[in-house]
Amino acid sequence: MKFCNNCKVNIRGQNKYCPLCQSELDAENETENIFPNIPTIFHKHNYFIRVMILISVAVSVICAAINILFPTDIWWSLFVAVGIACFWVSISVAILKRRNLPKNILYQVIILSSISFLWDLLIGWQGWSLDYVIPIICTLAMAAMAIIAKVANLQAADYLIYMLIDVVLGIIPLILVFLNVVNMRIPSLICTVSSIISLTALILFEGENMFSEIKRRFRV
């Protein structure tokens, strides 16, 4: 035990200085540490991401500069910048939600669908986002979630709600078919058919779990 003459207190541990007044203590009477020494943490994994962001910004700015130097009919550099931004939105969500795959998949469905719809609008509406991209993403997500749930042996609470939301989203293409905004009907119909089959399967096999999950998730 050490003693601080200024504070008149006994001090346990390996402190060289008094924790209260910072005056020097006798080096003798080394006792055991009270708390483990925990070194400063360096975030190494952040380094890679920072380099990637720097490269992204550099590419966008250089493209814009080239575009200004050699003007063309369209501002192609804008597409580069928007494309890189979209990539980052998707990737950052994927990294943040990496520990919860079903949620990650659902978020990607929403993000990629919105991005494709906006791109379609941006480059003059041709309808490919509604015809192909959105129904295909929804269908793939449904399949992926079902496979992951089986393979990783997930519990109902860990995937049901995300699966259910995706299934409900999968019915939207059918509405669009009826509203005649879709030119190519096959992907939309495949999506809706898988949705209805999945929903039936969910109710039949996980019905009780599903309703209790809905109840707790939507408790007001």
Partner 1 sequence: MSLRNDEWNRLDNVANIFPPTSDERNTKVFRFACELYEPINPKILQISLDKTINEFPFFCSVLKKGLFWYYLENSDLKPMVKSESKPPCSPIYDRNSKNLLFEVTYYKSRINFEVYHVLTDGTGALQFLRYLVYNYLVLSHKAEFENKTPILDYDASITQKADDSFQKYCTKGFKLFNNKKVSAFQIKGTKIPENRIKVIEGVVPIKKILDEAHKYNTTLTAFLTAVLMCSIYKEMAEREKTKPVVVAVPINLRKYFPSETTRNFFSLMDVDYNFKKNSDKLEDVIQYLNENFRRELTKEKIKEKINTFATLESNIVTRVTPLFLKNILLKLSSRYLFSDTTASLSNVGKVEMPDEVSSYIRLFDVFISTSKLQICCCSFKDNLTISFTSAFLSTDIQKNFFRTLTDIGISVEISANTID
Rule CB under 8 A: which residues touch partner 1? 1, 4, 7-15, 18-22, 32-41, 96-100, 155-158, 209, 212, 216-220
Give residue 13's region: left, alpha or beta (phi > 0; psi -120 to 50): left
Q: How far is the CB of 4 from partner 1 (least distance, A)?
A: 8
Return the number of the residue (84 or 94) whose C-beta is nearest partner 1: 94
Q: How far is the CB of 210 from partner 1 (least distance, A)?
A: 11
Q: How far is the CB of 218 from partner 1 (least distance, A)?
A: 5
Residues in the chain: 220
Q: Which amino acid is at 138?
A: C
C-beta of residue 161 within 8 angstroms of C-beta of residue 217: yes
Return the number of the residue (12 or 50) whose C-beta is nearest partner 1: 12
Cα–Cα distances in Å, from 30 out to 11, 33, 34?
11, 9, 12
Q: Cα(33)–Cα(35) distance, rounded to whole angstroms? A: 6
Q: How far is the CB of 8 from partner 1 (least distance, A)?
A: 4
Return the number of the residue (44 or 98) whose C-beta is nearest partner 1: 98
Half-sphere exposure of 54 (CA within 13 A, CB side): 6
Give residue 124's region: left, alpha or beta (phi > 0; psi -120 to 50): left
Q: How far is the CB of 199 from partner 1 (least distance, A)?
A: 20
Return the number of the residue (33 or 200) whose C-beta is nearest partner 1: 33
What is the C-alpha R_g of the chain? 29
Cα–Cα distances in Å, from 200 out to 118, 126, 159, 210?
32, 34, 16, 12
Return the number of the residue (19 or 127) whose C-beta is nearest partner 1: 19
Q: How far is the CB of 103 from partner 1 (least distance, A)?
A: 9
Return the number of the residue (10 or 180) whose C-beta is nearest partner 1: 10
